[in-house]
């Protein structure tokens, strides 16, 4: 079956613009996660969803970041008024449920803020 997909694969935007990143999880996976990976760094947890609910938003770096998930499926990560330090690869993952379940990662969206 299809894996996790993300779009766009690459996004170049000007400082101050808003961007939307999309994640399509594996069908039937109730848990969805967003991570950020800067060059040469590890994965920074941003937010996760169980169904449409986001119990833990503590990883979002600032109030310019928000995310939603609708229909227990597609999720959108929105970054408002982008800054250069937002440049990174944004990775989405899904799993059957939260907890002790393998995460399946998408290929990521590479965001460059100029």
Partner 1 sequence: SQQGEEDPQALSIQEGENATMNCSYKTSINNLQWYRQNSGRGLVHLILIRSNEREKHSGRLRVTLDTSKKSSSLLITASRAADTASYFCAPKSGGSYIPTFGRGTSLIVHP
Residue ranges binding partner 1 (CB under 8 A): 4, 31, 33, 35, 41-43, 45, 48, 50, 55-56, 91, 93, 98-100, 102-108
- Could you tell me the smallest distance in angstroms from the CB atom of residue 68 to partner 1? 18
- Nearer to partner 1 by C-beta: 5 or 80? 5
Whether the CB-CB separation of 18 and 76 falls below 8 Å is answered with no
- Nearer to partner 1 by C-beta: 22 or 80? 22
- C-alpha angle 34/38/41, rounded to 5°? 100
- Could you tell me the smallest distance in angstroms from the CB atom of residue 79 to partner 1? 20
């Amino acid at each position: 079956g299809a894996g996790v997909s993300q779009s766009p694969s690459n996004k170049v935007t000007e400082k101050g613009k808003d961007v939307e990143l999309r994640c399509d999880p594996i069908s039937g996976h109730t848990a969805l996660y967003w991570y950020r990976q800067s060059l040469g760094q590890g994965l920074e947890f941003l937010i996760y969803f169980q169904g449409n609910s986001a119990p833990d938003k503590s990883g979002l770096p600032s109030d310019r970041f928000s995310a939603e998930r609708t229909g227990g499926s597609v999720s959108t990560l929105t970054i408002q008024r982008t800054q250069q330090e937002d440049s990174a690869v944004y990775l989405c993952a899904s799993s059957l449920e939260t907890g002790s379940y393998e995460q399946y990662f998408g290929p990521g969206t590479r965001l460059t803020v100029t």
